[in-house]
Amino acid sequence: MYFFFLLLNQPSSQGLPRGPQGLPLVGNLFDLWNKEPMKYYSKQAEKYGSIYSIQLGNERVVVLSSVYWLKKCFTYKGIAFSGRPKGILLYYITNGKGIVMSDDDLNIQARRVLLQSFKHFGFGKNKIELYIDGELQSFMKNIK
Protein backbone atom coordinates (compact mmCIF):
# COMPACT_ATOMS: atom_id res chain seq x y z
CA MET A 1 0.00 0.00 0.00
CA TYR A 2 2.82 2.41 0.93
CA PHE A 3 4.57 1.65 -2.37
CA PHE A 4 1.47 2.66 -4.35
CA PHE A 5 1.16 5.82 -2.27
CA LEU A 6 4.74 6.75 -3.17
CA LEU A 7 4.15 5.98 -6.84
CA LEU A 8 1.08 8.22 -6.91
CA ASN A 9 2.97 11.03 -5.18
CA GLN A 10 5.88 11.26 -7.60
CA PRO A 11 7.13 14.82 -8.05
CA SER A 12 5.54 16.63 -10.96
CA SER A 13 7.73 18.08 -13.66
CA GLN A 14 4.95 20.45 -14.68
CA GLY A 15 6.30 23.99 -14.98
CA LEU A 16 9.92 22.83 -14.75
CA PRO A 17 12.47 22.61 -17.56
CA ARG A 18 12.54 19.29 -19.39
CA GLY A 19 15.07 16.67 -18.40
CA PRO A 20 15.69 12.92 -18.17
CA GLN A 21 12.82 10.78 -16.92
CA GLY A 22 13.60 9.10 -13.60
CA LEU A 23 12.48 5.81 -12.14
CA PRO A 24 9.75 5.82 -9.48
CA LEU A 25 11.10 6.45 -5.96
CA VAL A 26 14.79 6.70 -6.93
CA GLY A 27 14.61 9.08 -9.88
CA ASN A 28 17.92 9.36 -11.74
CA LEU A 29 20.11 8.20 -8.85
CA PHE A 30 21.01 4.93 -10.62
CA ASP A 31 22.16 6.96 -13.64
CA LEU A 32 24.62 8.75 -11.36
CA TRP A 33 25.70 5.63 -9.45
CA ASN A 34 28.15 4.19 -12.00
CA LYS A 35 29.19 7.44 -13.65
CA GLU A 36 31.19 10.46 -12.72
CA PRO A 37 28.60 13.10 -11.78
CA MET A 38 30.26 15.89 -13.79
CA LYS A 39 30.26 13.80 -16.97
CA TYR A 40 26.65 12.81 -16.41
CA TYR A 41 25.53 16.40 -15.81
CA SER A 42 27.53 17.61 -18.83
CA LYS A 43 25.92 14.96 -21.04
CA GLN A 44 22.45 15.99 -19.84
CA ALA A 45 23.30 19.66 -20.53
CA GLU A 46 24.28 18.76 -24.10
CA LYS A 47 21.00 16.91 -24.55
CA TYR A 48 18.56 19.26 -22.74
CA GLY A 49 20.36 22.62 -22.69
CA SER A 50 22.02 24.62 -19.93
CA ILE A 51 18.89 24.57 -17.74
CA TYR A 52 17.18 21.22 -17.14
CA SER A 53 15.51 19.27 -14.36
CA ILE A 54 16.48 15.94 -12.88
CA GLN A 55 14.82 13.70 -10.31
CA LEU A 56 16.99 12.87 -7.30
CA GLY A 57 15.11 10.39 -5.16
CA ASN A 58 11.63 11.77 -4.70
CA GLU A 59 12.64 15.40 -5.39
CA ARG A 60 12.68 17.21 -8.73
CA VAL A 61 15.71 19.53 -8.96
CA VAL A 62 16.53 22.22 -11.52
CA VAL A 63 20.16 22.14 -12.72
CA LEU A 64 21.92 25.28 -13.99
CA SER A 65 24.98 24.23 -15.98
CA SER A 66 26.43 27.47 -17.29
CA VAL A 67 28.19 30.39 -15.67
CA TYR A 68 25.85 32.76 -17.51
CA TRP A 69 22.71 31.29 -15.91
CA LEU A 70 24.31 30.88 -12.48
CA LYS A 71 25.30 34.54 -12.51
CA LYS A 72 21.93 35.67 -13.88
CA CYS A 73 19.94 33.70 -11.32
CA PHE A 74 21.97 34.45 -8.22
CA THR A 75 22.94 38.04 -9.03
CA TYR A 76 19.72 39.43 -10.46
CA LYS A 77 17.08 37.09 -9.04
CA GLY A 78 18.64 36.29 -5.66
CA ILE A 79 15.42 36.56 -3.67
CA ALA A 80 13.66 34.06 -5.94
CA PHE A 81 16.49 31.56 -5.36
CA SER A 82 16.90 32.22 -1.64
CA GLY A 83 14.52 29.45 -0.55
CA ARG A 84 15.96 26.48 1.26
CA PRO A 85 15.49 22.79 0.44
CA LYS A 86 13.26 20.82 2.76
CA GLY A 87 15.48 17.79 3.28
CA ILE A 88 14.94 15.39 6.16
CA LEU A 89 18.63 15.37 7.15
CA LEU A 90 18.93 19.17 7.21
CA TYR A 91 15.70 19.45 9.17
CA TYR A 92 17.04 16.93 11.70
CA ILE A 93 20.37 18.76 12.06
CA THR A 94 18.84 22.24 12.44
CA ASN A 95 15.61 21.13 14.11
CA GLY A 96 13.85 23.23 11.47
CA LYS A 97 15.28 26.43 12.92
CA GLY A 98 17.99 28.93 12.13
CA ILE A 99 18.55 31.74 9.67
CA VAL A 100 20.21 29.50 7.11
CA MET A 101 17.73 26.66 6.72
CA SER A 102 14.38 28.28 7.46
CA ASP A 103 11.95 30.26 5.30
CA ASP A 104 9.65 31.64 8.01
CA ASP A 105 8.89 35.38 8.26
CA LEU A 106 11.36 36.07 11.07
CA ASN A 107 14.27 34.52 9.21
CA ILE A 108 13.27 36.18 5.95
CA GLN A 109 13.42 39.52 7.78
CA ALA A 110 16.79 38.60 9.32
CA ARG A 111 18.16 37.70 5.89
CA ARG A 112 16.78 40.98 4.53
CA VAL A 113 18.67 42.95 7.24
CA LEU A 114 21.79 40.93 6.44
CA LEU A 115 21.37 41.68 2.73
CA GLN A 116 20.94 45.41 3.46
CA SER A 117 24.21 45.29 5.40
CA PHE A 118 25.91 43.57 2.47
CA LYS A 119 24.57 46.23 0.10
CA HIS A 120 26.00 48.91 2.36
CA PHE A 121 29.43 47.34 1.85
CA GLY A 122 29.11 46.95 -1.92
CA PHE A 123 26.94 43.89 -2.57
CA GLY A 124 24.78 44.48 -5.66
CA LYS A 125 27.20 46.96 -7.17
CA ASN A 126 29.59 46.34 -10.04
CA LYS A 127 32.54 45.52 -7.79
CA ILE A 128 30.63 42.70 -6.08
CA GLU A 129 29.54 41.36 -9.50
CA LEU A 130 33.20 41.12 -10.47
CA TYR A 131 33.87 39.21 -7.25
CA ILE A 132 30.90 36.88 -7.89
CA ASP A 133 32.05 36.32 -11.47
CA GLY A 134 35.54 35.43 -10.25
CA GLU A 135 34.15 33.05 -7.64
CA LEU A 136 31.90 31.36 -10.22
CA GLN A 137 34.84 30.88 -12.59
CA SER A 138 36.88 29.36 -9.75
CA PHE A 139 33.94 27.17 -8.72
CA MET A 140 33.50 25.87 -12.27
CA LYS A 141 37.24 25.08 -12.54
CA ASN A 142 37.14 23.16 -9.24
CA ILE A 143 34.14 21.12 -10.36
CA LYS A 144 35.87 20.06 -13.56
> pLDDT by residue (tens digit) across 67-90?
888 888 877 777 666 666 666 666
- What pTM, to 2 d.p., does this model score? 0.55
SS3 124: coil
12-38 exposure pattern, b = at least 16 Cβ within 10 A, e = fewer: eeeeeeebbebeeeebbeebeeeeeee
CB-count exposure of residue 113 (10 Å: 0-12, 13-18, 19+)? exposed
SS3 85: coil
Cβ atoms 71, 134 nearer than 8 A = no
Mean pLDDT for the stretch of residues 37-63? 88
Of residues 142 and 89, more confidently modeled = 142
> pLDDT by residue (tens digit) across 3-29?
455 445 555 567 788 888 888 878 888
